[in-house]
Amino acid sequence: MKKLYSMIALTLTLLAGSAIAAGDAGAKAAAAGDAPKGKQQTKMSTCSKEAKSKSLKGAERKQFMSTCLKAKA
């Protein structure tokens, strides 16, 4: 029984360590901003800035964003 508990503890420790390491790598890449933006991300950013400059809020912003994102770039 002790052996089973030891194996479970070891497995959980290894899994937690892997998850933390993967999270650190993702956080570093996001913080560095090295990843190039995809076409959809660029479009979303552009539409969001435009909506903000027009001071759109609520349903008006939602409608604008929908139309803006559907427009062909």
CA 40 to each of CA 15, 31, 58: distance values in angstroms, whole numbers, following the listed order: 33, 20, 22
The more confidently predicted of residues 51 and 22 is 51
| Number of CB atoms found within 10 A of residue 26's CB | 11
22, two tokens: 């993967």
Region 48-52 average pLDDT: 95
Q: Which residue has the higher pLDDT, 8 or 26?
A: 8
Nearest residue to 56 (alpha-carbon basis) of 45, 65, 66: 65
Instruction: List Cα–Cα distances, 55 to 10, 45, 48, in angstroms.
Output: 54, 15, 10
Q: What are the extents of the domains in the chain?
A: 1-35, 39-73
